[in-house]
Amino acid sequence: MANAAEGGPLRVGMVGVGERGSYHLDLLLGMDSVEIKALCDIDDGFLYRAKKWVQDTGKPAPALYSRSKTDYLRLCDRDDLDLVVTATPWQYHAPVCIAAMQAGKHAATEVPAALTVDECWELVETSEKTGKHCTMLEQANYSPDVMTVLNMSQQGIFGDLLHASGGYVHDLRLVKFDPEREPWRLQHSIDRNGNNYPTHPMGPIAWWLGINRGDQFEYLVSMSTKARCLNDYAAHFFGDRHPYASMRMACGDVNTTLLRTAGGRTVTLHHDTNTPHPQTAEMRLQGTRGLYAGNIRKLYLEGRSPTAHEWQPLAEYEKEYQHPLWKRFDEEKFRTSRGHGGGATTPLLWRRLLEALRAGRAPDQNVYDAVTWSVISPLTEKSVAAKSRPVDFPDFTRGKWKSTPPISFA
């Protein structure tokens, strides 16, 4: 049967169909010319629920893989797949993507793409050697505000860009202690001290600043606070004697990282998943002519904002600068098979990805993006462990960032 690049349906195998993976499955089931051929999960409950969802849409039952934690290898070896999608716990992302590409399939992974510098290089080298794409499913890049600001900055509205900041500020204490939801996430807080979830803010910032497309990160420094909040939370809800009330948690409650680019720009990143804090869209882009502040959805442009030193709502610029991708995107056409919520940014991501694979071109988020945004975790761990000493950033593009044009959306 013809594969997707030859005009046939896109044939997909999915590894990990828990919370997030089942959302992706639901989206894919609502899309034309996508066939779910195989599913893999070590939890039979999730696996058979996903199988039923496929059959509920009237499509043939997918093949199932659940023999062991490495049964994704058998799925990757099938000869009827174009794309393998992984939404497992973090430690399997790079191994699944590498196995998929080695078996001749494109790979799409949930965030982050990798946990170590070596894994990042292996993803790049495998993609280059096999000619298969490895993309990360970072939907934050497609949010309407992020894309409007990208459009404005690419038109020079903010002047020469100087600084960006962003944060993953999301109180995940309940999730970390709930064995029914992401039972794997707490262990990263126990073991690793740094910014262990950087890609939601990093993805948009990297596109805004043209990272890997004209600019490149040179080094970072990172610092963590002490870790108090998880112990306090456990003591409060489970009692003082519960092991989590006194267990040593490696990850500081608030991690702050500073990065500097070859082009003389700086970025501040925050990671804060343990403190009591409403979720915040902590995003900012600043240039020589003004700035955008995502937490208040406002901007200020010198010489253009009507009142000096006063913020203006971003909405006042939306008509003129809404990104062409959003103008073309018809949310109504994007219904999941089961009416899953979650906004339109992930559907737009999938539409872009499927279009790219069908057209035989690289996805918007290429393998260099995936590893550049993900490698921040191990680099911050290294800096934090060394009293915040600077850590050099690997150049995964091997110099190609200098001649790669700014991102565009054909």
Ligand X SMILES: NC(=O)c1ccc[n+]([C@@H]2O[C@H](COP(=O)([O-])OP(=O)(O)OC[C@H]3O[C@@H](n4cnc5c(N)ncnc54)[C@H](O)[C@@H]3O)[C@@H](O)[C@H]2O)c1
Q: Which residue has the tokens 């990272």?
A: 211
Burial bucket for residue 392 (CB in 10 Å: 0-12, 13-18, 19+): exposed
Instruction: For strands 312-313 and 391-392, give the pairing.
Output: unpaired
Binding mask 83-112 for ligand X (x = CB under 6 A): ----xxxx-x-----------------xx-
- Which of the ranges 11-19, 282-290, 347-355, 359-367 carries the binding residues for ligand X, by CB under 6 A? 11-19
CB of 242 to ligand X, least distance (A): 22
CB of 350 to ligand X, least distance (A): 12
102 versus 154: smaller Cβ distance to ligand X? 102
Q: Residue 26, CB half-sphere, CA atoms under 13 Å: how many?
A: 17
Q: Among 26, 35, 41, 82, which residue sits at the site for ligand X (rule: CB under 6 A)? A: 41
Residue type, 307: T
Token output for 100: 């998929």
By beta-carbon proximity to ligand X, the closer residue of 37 and 265 is: 37
Of 43 and 128, nearer to ligand X (C-beta) is 43
| Residue 403 burial (CB count, 10 A) | 9
CB of 182 to ligand X, least distance (A): 5
Residues 170-189 close enough to bind ligand X by CB under 6 A:
182
- Give, in order, the Cα–Cα distances in Å from 217 to each of 208, 214, 258, 269: 13, 11, 11, 13
43 contacts ligand X (rule: CB under 6 A):
yes
Residue with smaller CB distance to ligand X, 70 or 305: 70
- Going 318 to 321 to 325 to 329, the CA torsion angle's sign is positive
Residues that bind ligand X (rule: CB under 6 A) add up to a total of 23
19 is a site residue for ligand X (CB under 6 A): yes
End-to-end CA distance of the chain: 28
* Shortest distance, position 88 Cβ to ligand X, whole Å: 4
CA distances from 141 to 149, 250, 257 (A): 11, 30, 20
CB of 407 to ligand X, least distance (A): 19
- Tell me whether residue 64 or residue 162 sits nearer to ligand X (CB atom): 64
CB of 87 to ligand X, least distance (A): 5
**Residue with smallest beta-carbon separation from ligand X:** 18
Residues 6+ positions from 213 with CB-CB distance below 8 Å: 401, 404, 405, 406, 407
**DSSP element (H, E) containing 346:** helix 345-359
Q: Which of residues 101-160 bind ligand X (CB under 6 A)?
A: 110-111, 139
Give the nearer residue to ligand X in terms of CB position, either 203 or 287.
203
Residue 309 Cα distances to 164, 303, 304, 318, 340, angstroms = 19, 10, 11, 21, 42
- Binds ligand X (CB under 6 A): choice among 40, 81, 99, 384: 40
State in angstroms the smallest separation of the CB of 42 from ligand X. Answer: 5
Instruction: Indicate whether 75 belongs to the interface with ligand X (CB under 6 A).
Output: no
Confirm or reject binding of residue 376 to ligand X (CB under 6 A).
Answer: no
Task: Confirm or reject binding of residue 16 to ligand X (CB under 6 A).
Answer: yes
- CA-based nearest residue to 60, from 16, 19, 29: 29
Q: At closest approach, how far in Å is the CB of 265 from ligand X?
A: 26
Among 140, 76, 74, CA closest to 106: 76
DSSP state of 112: P
Closest distance to ligand X from the beta carbon of 235 (Å): 25
The bridge status of strand 290-293 relative to strand 283-287 is antiparallel
Q: Which of 10, 12, 13, 18 binds ligand X (CB under 6 A)?
A: 18
Which residue, 170, 176, 183, 128, is CA-closest to 371?
Answer: 128
Site string for ligand X, 236-275 (x = CB under 6 A): ----------------------------------------
Q: Which residues of the shown chain bind ligand X in the complex (CB under 6 A)?
A: 15-21, 40-43, 46, 69, 72, 87-90, 92, 110-111, 139, 182
